[in-house]
Chain A
């Protein structure tokens, strides 16, 4: 049976089920579990159940009520996934919330990413803010700090956290126009990796093989196997070679 394409422009509601391409460009609602080849939401979309599609893209506002599974998930507006999100690729540049856990191969976030559970991925790159309630596990973690980010734990092979640095400029309704040196910061309990480079990071424990603690860090304890460098503008309370 051929799967039907649906398009909601204006206000509309469809039942759950299997479709070809689903496009919502007005205010649309899917009442149940949705399986589709492609889901595109450019207005405001609400999927009450779970969703599964090869490609999911959101450029307006979307809320997924359950688990979401895809190969490519792209969001540039405000997107909420209340359940688990599993995708090959996640690219988000707006505000992305995941109830958690989040499983992917590649994550690139340049907006605000918040995850209620663990994040498992091969590559995690962020140039925005993130808050992860659980653990971030990845082969490569590359973070350029903007604003204040938090994560419970980071574990991986190569971990690099750099201050956003340079001039940063913000226009917001409440705070007006700001321009200044605002590098952002990261707060974590435990960071573990083979190669670890940190800036502007506060952590209880950093464990690694080759560890470099850069400017602005406050680390309670560092355990390293091979080498440790601490920048003059960083604070490390305890160091131990294991």
Chain B
């Protein structure tokens, strides 16, 4: 993986958090075990983190912990803690979905959590300039793979487009896949839109928390 890594002591320095907080958040599941990358260095063993992810997560925790308890944060930030069994009737009112997703709706009401996440993924694509017909592929794909949303898999939903130019006929075929970054495609295809499911899940949980 080509991700930039940051040593633990650098993380503490940059963010101003303490060892105590870091370990506490890890125990609570706010920082996934998978982000702790152990490496041997000249000065002995050291722990590194994927830079962008850890800094973003710590900022989230710090900005939210004023208003919410740690356990509430766990509900929002830990992928395992997905809300179960609830249904929501007005998905467009949630900020990660919004009015742009109007064309993506496929039923009147009673959307469950996975379906909301799917809509949010589609809505994000639409806001990114993807035509609704293609975004629909993304929505269909994500809503059938509910279990992925509940594990810290680091999987992205990717919308691609295959262009075929042969014998004067030129077609562009959109397709959606679930894949681990970095995604590679053949030379006739290109990636139109990538959506990090973990962050979409978080945003939906946050929005639901605000509604509730």
Contacts and interface: CB of A to CB of B under 8 A. Distances in A.
Contact of A194 (B8, B18, B45): B18
User: Chain B CB within 10 Å — which of A137, A158, A192, A208 has the most?
Assistant: A192
A205 interface: yes
Nearest to A205: B44
Interface residues of B, number: 16
Contacts of A208: 19
Interface stretch (B22-30, B58-66, B97-105, B174-182): B22-30
Interface string A124-154: 0000000000000111000000000000000
A205 B20 contact: no
A63 to B, nearest CB: 28
Interface string A204-242: 110111000000000011010100000000000010101
The SS class assigned to the A binding surface is strand
B43 interface: yes
Given A139-B24, A157-B23, A194-B19, A242 B9 contact: yes
A120 B18 contact: no
Contact of B20 (A190, A193, A221): A193
B20 A204 contact: no
Interface residues of A, number: 25
Contact of A158 (B8, B20, B27): B20
Contacts of A220: 44
B45 A189 contact: yes
A220 to B, nearest CB: 7
Nearest to B36: A135
Contact of B19 (A120, A157, A242): A157
Contacts of A157: 18-21, 23-24
Given A120-B27, A242-B9, A194 B20 contact: yes
Given A137-B26, A242-B9, A155 B45 contact: no
B19 A221 contact: no
Contacts of B44: 190, 204-205, 220-221
A190 B27 contact: no
A157 to B, nearest CB: 3
A156 interface: yes
Contacts of A223: 9, 43
A221 B45 CA distance: 11
Nearest to B43: A221
A139 B27 CA distance: 10
Contacts of A190: 44-45
B42 to A, nearest CB: 10
Nearest to B26: A137
B43 A156 contact: no
Interface in B1-37: 8-9, 12-13, 18-24, 26-27
Interface string B82-121: 0000000000000000000000000000000000000000
B45 A156 contact: no
Nearest to B22: A155
Nearest to B9: A242
Contacts of B19: 155-157, 192-194, 207-209
Nearest to A157: B20
Given A157-B23, A221-B44, 15 more contacts: A120-B27, A137-B27, A156-B19, A156-B23, A157-B18, A157-B21, A157-B24, A189-B45, A192-B19, A194-B18, A207-B19, A208-B19, A223-B43, A238-B43, A242-B13
19 contacts: A137-B27, A139-B20, A155-B22, A156-B19, A156-B20, A156-B23, A157-B18, A157-B21, A157-B23, A194-B19, A204-B44, A204-B45, A209-B19, A220-B44, A221-B43, A223-B43, A225-B9, A225-B12, A242-B9
Interface of A: 120, 137-139, 155-158, 189-190, 192-194, 204-205, 207-209, 220-221, 223, 225, 238, 240, 242
By Cβ-Cβ distance, the 9 closest A-B pairs, closest first, are A157-B20, A155-B23, A120-B27, A205-B44, A194-B18, A137-B23, A194-B19, A204-B44, A194-B20
